Structure 1
Amino acid sequence: MEIVSEGRNFRLLQEEELPAILDFLEKYLPDSLKFHQTIKTYLNNRVWDFHFYVSRNWPVEPVCLHFPGCTSTPNGRLYESFSVFCPSDSLESIDLIREEDILIDWTRPLFLNFTHSSIVDRIEEFYKNMGTLEKVHGDVYVFEDSPMDFNMDELPSDVEMCRLKPQHMQSIHNLYPANDMECVDVFEKLVSELPAYGIFSSGELAAWMVQSYYGAMFSMQTKPEFRRKGYGIHLAKYLTKEVSERGYKPFVVIRPENDASKSLYTKLGFKKNYQMIRAVLRPDNHEQNGTLSSENGEIEAVGVD
């Protein structure tokens, strides 16, 4: 699909401009963490072909967009999904999105990847006259301490932890709760470029965890028959340490009702910072096409110990 260089209110960033955007976003950490680390993994590892935009009046109107926001959508259109960041003290600038009718087709369903809840609230204010939002909430837990003090207990002799390979990812993707929102191709690229580990028991993959393209530690799962063996916390410690050593801020997104995940990550020193929301924006009188996963989506630590 042809890349649009200019919308009504936004312009496409060139790659050489992205480091300056990172510097700007650093002023708003941790609120900007997901968008910041999406740009960072893009520059460092190019795991997916994202396209970043800023307002024409940047940084006076400090709104950033990136397309696609999700790597898989029902119609596979580049501009069908997006993510957005705007500082909380400039939320009135979000109204630029409402007027953006070149990059964003408001007459069709749109897929908004995890975005700060205050931004989604602002979008919902004007979108209520167009349609409805189908939402999934997630709490952002950020690791601020040093992982060097982690006590890395040895695994039992009959299991081993190994770096995941692309050939492992199809089966992992099949079990991923939001596999309708992220394609298997991005999983295969992630394990080639970013930390991704599995625990194998007698050669069988029992548990796994991957760093995502937006810097979070995600897709932690343990198969039911291997739970309560400590595999989850072992993977979380290892990934936290490696993600930190690679210059990223470790964080996870957890469903508010997921007490097991909250307990695990709180035990490791992660602290809740704010809430994000993923949404399908569905215009009135439009045939339903695409839904959010009913379970955890990309909110992680499914089946942890």
Structure 2
Amino acid sequence: MVPVLLTSSQIFELLEKLNVLGDKSFQIRSTLLFEQRYPSKQYQVWVDLWPEFTSILIKQRLSEELIPIYYVFTLEEEKLKMLLENTDIMEWEHAIFRVYPIEFHEIIKEASRKFGFELMRSPFEFRLYIFNTDNLKKRYRAVPEDVIVGSLTPDMADTVTESWPALVYKEKKLALIRYLITNYQTVCLYNLKGAPVAYELQQKYGGLGMLFVKPAYRKRGLGKLITDLLLQKCADHGYPPFVLITAENEESGKLHTDVGFQKNDIIFLWSKVVPKEM
């Protein structure tokens, strides 16, 4: 099998083909849509065959200072394995796999071990919540008098990073968050003195994420307000609004369900490659 690197016009054809495969292909479709609008520094879409593909591997590098990120999809496990084992495509020593259905995990793990690496999965499993834009209406949610609606600015990347202490590799996360703020959709609420009190960002995989409200401003409906505003922005730009939420985060699940998102049963994972211990 000789993998095929798709052209821009072929990627549009691929999107049309993926539309008929339902929610299982939702994440890979979202990533492709996102890249068509906001091309990364490096962006390649590989398939096992064309036009009768069964497997997809996306290689994405947001900027020169960030390591490559991979997204995968398959209808036939052996064909995905062949893509993963192609050294002209993969950089295993730096590989990160984002937002893939749990059923693909063993395929990726087996391929990583073949090249002397282990696949370290996130400790969390994520559920997909999708907002049906067919039901989208211009909804009015009152903005409190003591806050002002705006967007994040790149100089606020430090503030966002500090709000998420669990994030590792701070310098790389800082570069990533600055990239997200510069290129993607965001919403930020400011108090009357101009200080940020709540925000949410569109993520590199196309979903909404990193919703944060300062403790003094919680229990006032600001999380729902921000989510409403950001999903409207995403929909206005042609992106299907969705979020990925851990099963443990019941509060976030309820918030997004109340806003109108619908929970999907597919479980998604994040993983990164680490050297195998000798």
Length-normalised TM-score, structure 2:
0.83
User: Secondary structure of 1:32's match?
Assistant: helix
Superposed CA deviations along residues 142-197 of structure 1, whole A, max 9, x for unmatched, are 112523164x3322211111122222233213434446496444534444443211
Distance 2:262 2:200 in 1: 20
Distance 1:35 1:113 in 2: 10
Structure 1 match to 2:137: 148
Q: Tell me if the contact between 1:42 and 1:50 (Cα under 8 Å) persists in the aligned partners.
A: no
Distance 1:155 1:149, change over 3 A: closer
Q: Tell me if the contact between 1:70 and 1:82 (Cα under 8 Å) persists in the aligned partners.
A: no
Distance 1:49 1:262, change over 3 A: same
Structure 1 match to 2:218: 227
Select which of 16, 30, 43 maps to 2:23: 30
Where in structure 2 are there 5+ consecutive unaligned residues? none
How far is 1:252 from its partner?
0.2
User: Secondary structure of 2:219's match?
Assistant: coil
Q: Tell me if the contact between 2:97 and 2:271 (Cα under 8 Å) persists in the aligned partners.
A: yes
Select which of 251, 276, 281 maps to 2:268: 276
Amino acid in structure 1 at the alignment position of 2:74: C
User: Secondary structure of 2:99's match?
Assistant: strand
The answer to whether residue 73 in structure 2 is matched with residue 85 in structure 1 is yes
Q: Tell me if the contact between 2:186 and 2:199 (Cα under 8 Å) persists in the aligned partners.
A: yes
Distance 2:257 2:37 in 1: 29
User: Secondary structure of 1:28's match?
Assistant: helix
Q: Tell me if the contact between 1:64 and 1:86 (Cα under 8 Å) persists in the aligned partners.
A: yes
Select which of 39, 53, 69 maps to 2:45: 53
How far is 1:141 from its partner?
0.8
Structure 1 match to 2:107: 122
How far is 1:67 from its partner?
1.9
Distance 2:94 2:41 in 1: 22
Distance 1:69 1:276 in 2: 21
Q: Tell me if the contact between 1:215 and 1:248 (Cα under 8 Å) persists in the aligned partners.
A: yes
Distance 2:162 2:254 in 1: 26
Structure 1 match to 2:196: 205
Distance 1:246 1:77, change over 3 A: closer
Distance 2:224 2:61 in 1: 29
Greater mean alpha carbon deviation, residues 163-172 or residues 256-265? 163-172
1:58-77 → structure 2 map (5 Å cutoff): 58-68=50-60, 76-77=66-67
Select which of 231, 234, 239 maps to 1:243: 234
User: Secondary structure of 1:92's match?
Assistant: helix
Distance 1:59 1:272, change over 3 A: farther
Distance 1:192 1:280 in 2: 25
Structure 2 match to 1:267: 258
Distance 1:50 1:33 in 2: 22
RMSD of aligned Cα (Å): 2.8
Distance 1:170 1:16, change over 3 A: farther
Distance 2:2 2:213 in 1: 45
Superposed CA deviations along residues 1-29 of structure 1, whole A, max 9, x for unmatched, are xxxxxxx8434333333212222222223
Superposed CA deviations along residues 188-222 of structure 1, whole A, max 9, x for unmatched, are 44444432111112321111012223321112111
Greater percentage in helix: 2
Structure 2 match to 1:299: none
Structure 2 match to 1:102: 88
Distance 1:12 1:91, change over 3 A: same
Q: Percent identity?
A: 19
Greater mean alpha carbon deviation, residues 276-285 or residues 183-192? 183-192
How far is 1:260 from its partner?
0.7
Amino acid in structure 1 at the alignment position of 2:8: E
Distance 2:58 2:120 in 1: 20
Structure 1 match to 2:10: 17
User: Secondary structure of 2:240's match?
Assistant: coil
